[in-house]
Structure 1
Amino acid sequence: MPTISIITITYNAERFLERTIHSIVAQQAADFEYIVVDGASTDGTLDIIKRFEANVTTWISEPDKGLYDAMNKGLHLAKGEYVWFMNAGDEIHDPQTLPNLLARIKAEAVDVYYSDALFVREEQGIVRPVGLRSQVTPHTLPHNLTWRDMALGMKVCHQAFVVKRAVAPDYLTNNLSADLDWEIRCLKAATTIAFLPFVLCKYLLGGLSVQQHRRSLIDRFKVLVSHFGLLSTIMNHAQIVWRATQFKSNN
């Protein structure tokens, strides 16, 4: 059984997928499996997967019911002790990231590991750094994370969140903030949680929730109500709006 299952979800992402695969192939470690779940792409995605087939442990290409249905497929295929999602366009931060993570797991195998994320943006085919998530967004990153820290929204980028498969539930499939719900449920189930002092990922800006921003905000509200209650969520959203306004005025 590999220690980590790295899972990539992709659909018609030939522009981005190779970048993700290269970041995984470059890792100076072997104790992992790599799973690619494709939603029956009609572009050149399958050609890319087949070109790197020697580096991919398992891959499937079939229709799905959306991003989180595909992520559930990845979870069900995983055999590793931990699962780590690195979707098309995102990258593992550098070639020493996985060895550093595996060393931490060997020293102390906690239920959840998390870190900051480096935001990047593609401009005219060139990927440029934007900055650490904790610095370029209003989301500060606590070093002693609990599920209650998510009351004001997602504190940890999904690609900077590595979880023991034993405590990882399935994702909601009808909610664009299912990643927030999943992180909260993972943290609720975890007995041990550890902050990593190194960056796990490069996160490509412009994902599904950005493309469908209004629905994403409504779905986030539903997720937070389910975990924190209606009154608390309404009060917290007032704080979210104030915090966002303050952050914009200072930047």
Structure 2
Amino acid sequence: MGPLLTIITITYNAGRLLQNTLESVEKAASKAPGLVFEHLIVDGASADHTLEIAESFTGRLPLRIRSEPDKGLYDAMNKGLQQASGSYVWFLNAGDEVGDDQVFAKLGPALRSDADIYYSDAVFFTSDGTILGLRSQVTPHELPSEISWRDMAMGMKICHQAFIVKRSLAPVFETDNLSADLDWEIVAMKNAGSIRFLDFALCRYLLGGVSTQKHRKSLTDRWRVLQRHFGFFTTVLNHIRMTIRGGAFLLRKGKYW
């Protein structure tokens, strides 16, 4: 019998980030010895000490490491899906962390309820360790406790690192789309028969990923994804709503995060 869960971590020259990610998994695993999982490191042929750090955990975690050139983040994520053997898959990238050391102890029993998708809120934090708060509180994206793919019409309500899906339902990622994670979640939710909210934060999300660094292309790609799933006129209307919502949030909070 294979593992219940596959955690997939994508790395490329991520030596300064990976240690914290793997230590957070190790701490959570120590509190839930009954949770059978595997952890895949999919590396893009790093030239720094990423692989040395990963290999130092091979005796401490059920870790498998693959390192070879890839065509970018989403190509690497597709490789992770191809290698995964767990019933569920969870992407937790270098720099991101398990929410706290009790997450696995709570997650194991939850996964055995056999929902197709599990999701939660995410804790945002910065590279200096500053905790900004829950994503649903520090961004305009409120997170409902019941959700369907139609609720994604105004953008990504669920942080990708707080989204666990049955491997059999997981689609492939578009490799040239910086909003491929949004599309991936929508398609997975369309495939799902049951979606369950978890009342604890699965992850701590490190701000500053690829979509943040290439913000304009990310927005253009998001438009393409939303238009594909919801139609042109609905997407135009929802972008007007998003602009109003974002302005109101900024006036109320004074900042996004």
Give CA deviations for 1:144-180 in whole Å, capped at 9, x if unaligned: 1100000000000001000000110111111000000
> Where do 1:68-217 residues align within 5 Å?
68-106=74-112, 108-123=113-128, 127-217=129-219
Q: Which runs of 5+ in 1 are unaligned?
A: none
Find the residue that maps to 1:134 and give its secondary structure.
Answer: helix
Q: Runs of 4 or more off by more than 3 Å in structure 1?
A: none
Paired with 1:112 and 1:51, the residues of 2 have a C-alpha distance of 32
Which position in structure 2 is the counterpart of 1:236?
238
User: Are the equivalent residues in 2 in contact too, given 1:8–1:35 (CA < 8 A)?
Assistant: yes
User: Are the equivalent residues in 1 in contact too, given 2:37–2:62 (CA < 8 A)?
Assistant: no
Of residues 222, 229, 245, the one that matches 1:220 is: 222
Query: TM-score, normalised on structure 1?
Result: 0.97
User: Are the equivalent residues in 2 in contact too, given 1:36–1:56 (CA < 8 A)?
Assistant: no
Give CA deviations for 1:36-58 in whole Å, capped at 9, x if unaligned: 00000111111111111222431
Count of residue correspondences: 247
Measure how far apart 1:61 and its partner are.
Answer: 0.6
Paired with 2:242 and 2:181, the residues of 1 have a C-alpha distance of 19
Paired with 2:105 and 2:192, the residues of 1 have a C-alpha distance of 23
Paired with 2:192 and 2:75, the residues of 1 have a C-alpha distance of 23
Paired with 1:43 and 1:214, the residues of 2 have a C-alpha distance of 29
Paired with 1:41 and 1:47, the residues of 2 have a C-alpha distance of 10
Paired with 2:62 and 2:38, the residues of 1 have a C-alpha distance of 8
Which position in structure 2 is the counterpart of 1:25?
26
Paired with 1:68 and 1:105, the residues of 2 have a C-alpha distance of 25
Give the letter for the 1:19 counterpart: N
Give the letter for the 1:61 counterpart: S
* 2:251 counterpart of 1:249: yes
Of residues 26, 36, 58, the one that matches 2:64 is: 58
Measure how far apart 1:128 and its partner are.
Answer: 1.5
Give CA deviations for 1:165-217 in whole Å, capped at 9, x if unaligned: 01101111110000000000000000000000111000000000000000000
Find the residue that maps to 1:68 and give its secondary structure.
Answer: helix
Which position in structure 1 is the counterpart of 2:5?
4
Find the residue that maps to 1:166 and give its secondary structure.
Answer: helix
Find the residue that maps to 2:6 and give its secondary structure.
Answer: strand
Paired with 1:2 and 1:138, the residues of 2 have a C-alpha distance of 36
Paired with 2:82 and 2:105, the residues of 1 have a C-alpha distance of 25
**What RMSD over aligned residues (CA atoms) do the two structures have, in Å?**
0.8
* 2:39 counterpart of 1:34: yes
Find the residue that maps to 1:40 and give its secondary structure.
Answer: coil
Q: Which runs of 5+ in 2 are unaligned?
A: none
* 2:73 counterpart of 1:67: yes
Paired with 1:178 and 1:122, the residues of 2 have a C-alpha distance of 24
Moved more, 135-144 or 47-56: 47-56
Paired with 1:77 and 1:23, the residues of 2 have a C-alpha distance of 22
